[in-house]
Structure 1
């Protein structure tokens, strides 16, 4: 049985406001920190034995393994704020300048490697050189990509009609060939949206490309953790929470929440009832639906209409070094993105590669043996040095509900932070942040929920990251 107690004085208003945050992913951690930094007494409840949500690490023998590869961009200003808040920015640095090696498994020798990068020139000239030399597209395709990018830049992201449109149809209407979609638009879009263009909302796709590639020259510079994700999202996050005075309880699952006659909330966990002025539900949409009290949302069943999309991660440990660069993307192969995780994992000999496979509906339940037979030969096609290397370990991690599905129309289903119940707020990457299901969206949602709660409590909010500021 869980033993959960509130700090002294938490049960009465005279000693100040109390809050309970349900869920210890990035959204919940952010909300808890933001509330605590404003003087609110916060209890954070997480059902799993660790913090971090779906961006976590685990041990496999001597390896420290991330469940999947997570990256962020320079334009992810909220996640960067989060890293600063937990003193983790130096452990997840950004590239000095965007540079993505793109290998084509079907290309001829000498023409297999292309690059997507930028210069210091202003938008959109910062991508001109990269596009002009991107050998995976013909000259005519490159010219059409440039025209489509300018058309995309002109879209109004506040137009609700974009949410109902299909990004794939929009690309086709703007002259994009199947090859251009594969070699450029989906190369970026699948990794950020977790869906191919034909399954994506134009609103979300336009947001990704306008913010990431067409807002600022450095917006798309890539950052990723050089340490295990658990060191950031669990160890450092927990240290920050402790320093802020947040009581953190893991292995503690909430069974119900209800509004008392005195206007306060009761949060039920096994063996204990917690009372609070404010509750933030920072859990997946289906779990939120189950916990919401009657009347909190006008149409709570709509949360169940928000679909989910899987991500498959393939982990390969070789007995020698087979990849010289930190990461690459692939074309003409089922392989999507490959990262070198050797140093971060603690591997002492050989090399450890992590393959991130988004939009993996067709493969998420494939047996490991089938995936091994499919992906090891593909890596040998892409990486000549792998052809004579021994495979010391091959395993997979599966996140069947890794993100919400960014399908056309999903925008109307995503609720904001406020509910109709006073003192009850929602957070999570699936809420109405305007972003796809990324770490950035999760952090923004936590800030939004905390900001709304602090406003209702009459507490200061000037310490919060401005979730409405333009990406920079």
Structure 2
């Protein structure tokens, strides 16, 4: 019998398992599917035979716990850091004019000055609009949470008199990509988290981290090997039917095949809308379980495109003012099958387009969406205009993330549930972060800390945030940041 049973092999469950294994606790990890990774997973495309990610997953430099998780398990080598972003200017009325591509990178200056030149290079904003943006960022950094409680970010921007162009070409672009919600459905606190931690607090916080291999290779391959080598029993295709409770404690889990497994402690790392299905009926209407269904979710769509030739050498691009929001060049991500004949050995001409806040997109015919996306790419890059589309598919994750609505923080439960030996883990729990890989890992570490404490092991597993620059501490004055002091 293991000390702990972790239910769910997504990032939260994986983080709990890793942290507990490092603390010397024996763990059994149960996953209903044949692969680990949860939403961060891959599947085989039937037409090409390729293993492709359901959606491009991105971390940032400010994701200290996710990066620690990757270092601890040896998968960090399968990520690359992007220290330059490429913003494609909005389309103009002159269709024959190719949009300008603005390079966004840091200078060797302390935060928040490190990105000053990057903002100035956004050529599709006027000088007046750039000044308004600077004022807005400073106001957001100084905003106090008690003054914005219950307020949505669209209203806050209106109060700050942010110009329409700045809202549509900057605030909307960044926040919808990060949170997958429209600005009127985003709390000021969530927006503050993205911009302060991601752009302002530390000069490395904004850097983008991308996997260089399919997610399945990371989690079902490399990470599974790490877990088993550290004593974790990983059981795939082991769906849990229910938790068995006696005297308000979990005594066992019952699998769908009728098998029962016992442990001293349990971590339930599943999506919030599934939690109550594991519990006896008498617990369904008790807090915090009774309010989990009130956490709304948002969809993300990904459009996968294979061309007969490269359409751009850029590794990625932020597409401003279009249906397409991000382009990721996945051509050099290893794959067993090479669909195109014109590509160099070991490469594919494969590109993934991300559309967050995809409620309306999900209602449209997929062929129509794909055609619009391809037309946008052809209008940006001359190579795309000459390329032949060989294969395409569109995937919609209807419950990709929880929506950071004003008031949603009050619905997020702590990791310690009312059941003494049951922890909750998932990016939807109280982590201080929106729905991200960082939030998922934080929840797993926090749940693992509680479990370790129950065994008499006071182990700090949650990692500190990036330090705040000395200039930021002066610039923001009395504002309390999530990051720790120091340089």
* TM-score normalised over the length of structure 1: 0.91
| Alpha-carbon contact 2:300-2:400 (below 8 Å) kept | yes
SS at match of 1:164: coil
Equivalent positions of 1:44-59 (< 5 A) are: 44-59=29-44
Which of the residues 395, 398, 406 maps onto 1:397?
Answer: 395
73-82 or 111-120: bigger deviation: 111-120
Which of the residues 456, 459, 464 maps onto 1:458?
Answer: 456
Q: Alpha-carbon deviation of 1:153?
A: 1.1
Aligned residue in 2 for 1:410: 408
Aligned residue in 2 for 1:319: 308
173-182 or 215-224: bigger deviation: 173-182
Aligned residue in 1 for 2:166: 180
What per-residue deviation string (whole Å, max 9, x for no partner) do you get for residues 203-224 of structure 1?
1111111100110111101110
Whether 2:226 is the aligned partner of 1:245: answer no
SS at match of 1:93: strand
What per-residue deviation string (whole Å, max 9, x for no partner) do you get for residues 424-462 of structure 1?
110001111111111110000000000011112212414
Which of the residues 347, 357, 375 maps onto 1:377?
Answer: 375
Whether 2:13 is the aligned partner of 1:28: answer yes
Equivalent positions of 1:307-346 (< 5 A) are: 307-346=296-335
Decide whether aligned partners of structure 1 residues 107 and 65 sit closer, same or farther in structure 2, where only a CA change above 3 A counts.
farther
CA distance in 2, matches of 1:275, 1:471: 40
Runs of 4+ in 1 over 6 A off after TM superposition: none
SS at match of 1:310: strand
| Alpha-carbon contact 1:101-1:327 (below 8 Å) kept | no
| Structure 2 unmatched ranges of 5 or more | 467-481
Whether 2:94 is the aligned partner of 1:102: answer no
Which of the residues 128, 141, 144 maps onto 1:140?
Answer: 128
What per-residue deviation string (whole Å, max 9, x for no partner) do you get for residues 9-35 of structure 1?
x4xxxxxxx111010000001101111
Whether 2:203 is the aligned partner of 1:217: answer yes
SS at match of 2:16: helix
Aligned residue in 2 for 1:353: 351
Aligned residue in 1 for 2:218: 232
CA distance in 2, matches of 1:176, 1:247: 53
| Alpha-carbon contact 2:250-2:419 (below 8 Å) kept | no
What per-residue deviation string (whole Å, max 9, x for no partner) do you get for residues 366-411 of structure 1?
3322222322212111222111211110111221100001111111
Whether 2:260 is the aligned partner of 1:273: answer yes
Whether 2:121 is the aligned partner of 1:124: answer no
| Alpha-carbon contact 1:106-1:112 (below 8 Å) kept | no
What per-residue deviation string (whole Å, max 9, x for no partner) do you get for residues 106-134 of structure 1?
27637622233221211221121122231
| Structure 1 unmatched ranges of 5 or more | 1-5, 11-17
SS at match of 1:329: strand
Aligned residue in 1 for 2:473: none
| Alpha-carbon contact 2:275-2:289 (below 8 Å) kept | no
Decide whether aligned partners of structure 1 residues 74 and 44 sit closer, same or farther in structure 2, where only a CA change above 3 A counts.
same
Which of the residues 56, 59, 62 maps onto 1:72?
Answer: 59
Decide whether aligned partners of structure 1 residues 292 and 360 sit closer, same or farther in structure 2, where only a CA change above 3 A counts.
same
| Alpha-carbon contact 1:282-1:426 (below 8 Å) kept | yes
Whether 2:239 is the aligned partner of 1:257: answer no
| Alpha-carbon contact 1:295-1:420 (below 8 Å) kept | no
Q: Alpha-carbon deviation of 1:49?
A: 1.0
Q: Alpha-carbon deviation of 1:264?
A: 5.4
SS at match of 2:361: coil
SS at match of 1:362: helix
Whether 2:30 is the aligned partner of 1:41: answer no
447-456 or 160-169: bigger deviation: 160-169
Decide whether aligned partners of structure 1 residues 261 and 430 sit closer, same or farther in structure 2, where only a CA change above 3 A counts.
closer
